[in-house]
Amino acid sequence: MTVAARRDVAAALRRSRLFAELPEADVRALAGTGRTVELAPGEVLIAEGAPPEAMYVVLEGELEVSRHVGGAELLLNVCGPGELLGELGIAHGRPRSATVRARTRTRLQRIGAEVLDTVLTHPQSARALLVAATRRLAQEEALVRQHERMAALGAMAAGLLHELNNPASAVQRGATRLRELLATAGDREDPLQPLVGAVPVPADPLARGDAEQALAGVLAAAGVERSWEEAAGLVRLGIDPAALARALADLPDRRGRAVHRLTRRAEVTALLEEVAAGAEQLTRIVSGVRPLAYVADDSLTDVDLHASLEQALVLLRHKVPPGVTVVRDLDPRPQAVEGWPADLALVWNVLLDNALDAVEPGGTVTVRTRGEAGDVVVDVEDTGATVPPEVLARVFDAFFTTKPVGRGTGLGLPTALAVVAQKHRGRLTLTSADGVTRARVVLPRHR
């Protein structure tokens, strides 16, 4: 190792709290006795379960630390220059508890296990090692517990979705069949059915009142009881007064019964449509939640981004404030990427929840997609208040939030960033200027 290279390594070691308090001679000795390791993106430095043989100081680049939990790979941390890796395995002499993989082109300094005794002879370095180990263990334990809780909730939600989906499907089938039976019965038995839809239903209240008065007059002249009550239903059916008068003239003995049957049948049809619409909405909600509930079974697949975004919008529809408009500006061409549906669903929920929470009545939330040669760009924009620069600088920090207790999804931008950048090899940025705050996700089509 050249003198200049040893000097660079010593400067990097100084940036680590573990070596910051060591005497200069010891730092130079460490820089000279270790060796430099270079990794390409995606290359593994430490494998989970491997024996501990050294620790590493990051000189350049970024690495991700992950662990297999419940059959899935859980991202624990992202490390950059000056950070220490592998010291816990050296300290307790146990197999590696996590896998460390290069995110970018990375350069590290490898320091053998025998150096630990030298470090522990200096109180400040020993204290730094203890603090770093304690903090890392606490963070990893919290992440693992959260992952296990989410898996348990997912299993419970999956069972609940199954129970909801069956009756919703049954209601839809029943509504469709009942609609067919009503249409067939009406054509055969109701002599006034051909009058339905003859004229447009008035949208203006005054015009609707005039139409009701005209129909009520026809019914009263024909001797139909409760003419005003029946007239309101006939207006909603688009009945023409003149055509109704001619049809009633041909029914001298059963006018009232025919009118009553027609209006009640229309009321039943309207209620049936309402039931069918509710069942359809319930089915859409079940479809939207399904990727989140079956996260444990999630695997790498082709994800339809437009369908994924629509599912998120369905789930968050109840959070749209009054007076706020949600605009879809989607690429006319289908857009798909290789990815994990459940993870991307979480990203859209986080970004849309933040946007809906920020916008005021009269504002707009826009979901935009654009397909590029090798990527797909997804923008979630809102016209809420501009985010201050000091807040923008911290939005991706762990545990940072501007929301009061009890608000928010509990899965913020740091989690979304990890999903996009680490798991999908994409980019997530947040900008706020000129009255528009934009969260932009760039996903490669192929991983």
- Residue-range domain boundaries for the chain: 3-121, 166-284, 298-444
More confident residue, 295 or 233: 233
Contacts of 343 (CB under 8 A, 6+ apart): 295, 298, 419, 423, 424
Q: Where are the alpha helices (DSSP H) in 78-122?
A: 87-92, 115-120
Amino acid, res. 138: A
The whole-number pLDDT of residue 296 equals 47
Mean pLDDT of 255-281: 81
Residues 222 and 218: their CA atoms lie apart, in Å, by 6
Q: Are 378 and 441 in contact (CB under 8 A)?
A: yes
Q: Residue 222 pLDDT > 60, yes or no?
A: yes
What Rg, from alpha-carbon coordinates, does the chain have?
Answer: 33
Q: What CATH number has the domain spanning 3-121?
A: 2.60.120.10
Per-residue pLDDT tens digits for 59-85: 888 888 887 766 666 677 778 887 778
More confident residue, 39 or 69: 39
The whole-number pLDDT of residue 331 equals 94
The whole-number pLDDT of residue 133 equals 61
Burial (CB < 10 A; 0-12, 13-18, 19+), residue 249, is: exposed
Residues 89 and 114: their CA atoms lie apart, in Å, by 13
More confident residue, 9 or 46: 46
Per-residue pLDDT tens digits for 324-350: 999 999 999 999 999 888 889 889 988
The whole-number pLDDT of residue 83 equals 78
Q: Do 3-121 and 298-444 agree at the fold level?
A: no
Q: Where are the alpha helices (DSSP H) in 190-254?
A: 205-221, 227-236, 241-249
Q: What is the mean pLDDT of the chain?
A: 79
> How many whole angstroms from its chain centre is CA 25?
52
Contacts of 170 (CB under 8 A, 6+ apart): none
Fold of 298-444: Heat Shock Protein 90 (3.30.565)
> Quick one: pLDDT band at residue 143, thresholds 50, 70, 90?
low
Residues 239 and 197: their CA atoms lie apart, in Å, by 6
Mean pLDDT of 159-181: 75
In a 13 Å sphere around the CA of 377, the CA atoms on its Cβ side amount to 12
- H/E run at residue 430: strand 427-433
Contacts of 41 (CB under 8 A, 6+ apart): 102, 103, 104, 105
Sign of the CA dihedral 291, 294, 296, 299? negative
Q: Are 84 and 16 in contact (CB under 8 A)?
A: yes
The whole-number pLDDT of residue 409 equals 47
Cβ atoms within 10 Å, residue 421: 20
Q: Are 243 and 198 in contact (CB under 8 A)?
A: yes
Stated pTM of the model: 0.50
Residues 6 and 28: their CA atoms lie apart, in Å, by 7
Cβ atoms within 10 Å, residue 95: 11
The whole-number pLDDT of residue 134 equals 65
Kindly report the length of the chain.
447
> Quick one: pLDDT band at residue 15, thresholds 50, 70, 90?
low
Per-residue pLDDT tens digits for 361-386: 999 999 999 999 899 999 999 999 88
Cα dist. 118→111, 221, 270 in Å?
12, 109, 82
> Quick one: pLDDT band at residue 430, thresholds 50, 70, 90?
very high
> Quick one: pLDDT band at residue 406, thresholds 50, 70, 90?
very low
The whole-number pLDDT of residue 410 equals 41
Residues 83 and 12: their CA atoms lie apart, in Å, by 9
